[in-house]
Amino acid sequence: MVASTTTARTCTNGHSYVKTSDCPVCPSCEKEQKPATGLLAELAAPARRALANKGISTVEQLSTFSQKEILQLHGIGKSTLPKLQQALAARQLTFKISN
């Protein structure tokens, strides 16, 4: 087993934190950016970032994509799909049908 190396970092907003990976995301900044309500509030940070980077912030926007397209986004895993499907169903929407 390889020992992990920790790195002390400071983000551009002045938050100090320690990471064991190459991930550049500041945990404090991530918490500040988490919405309190809506589709993105229910998801883990990697999934939120993946959808936000694709311009998806509402259930209506999500419904214009197929399940396959969403699963291809880095940060979206199979465990995220049930949450997305529940959000769509609550608005009587579905993923776009793949061809």
Above 70 in pLDDT, residue 9?
yes
Both 54 and 24 in one domain: the answer is no
Nearest CA among 47, 46, 84, 44 for reference residue 67: 84
Query: Rounded CA gap, 71 and 65, in Å?
Result: 10
Both 39 and 79 in one domain: the answer is yes
Tell me the pLDDT of the chain averaged across its residues: 87
Above 90 in pLDDT, residue 94?
yes
Both 54 and 88 in one domain: the answer is yes
Both 53 and 90 in one domain: the answer is yes
For 43-64, what is each residue's pLDDT tens digit? 988 899 899 999 999 999 999 9
More confident residue, 33 or 90: 90
Task: Judge whether 2 and 50 are in contact, CB under 8 Å.
Answer: no
Both 40 and 81 in one domain: the answer is yes
Above 60 in pLDDT, residue 8?
yes
Question: Which run of H or of E encompasses 16?
Answer: strand 16-19
Which residue range(s) make up the domain with 87?
A: 35-99
Question: Which run of H or of E encompasses 8?
Answer: strand 7-10
Both 79 and 56 in one domain: the answer is yes
Residue 91 confidence (pLDDT): 94
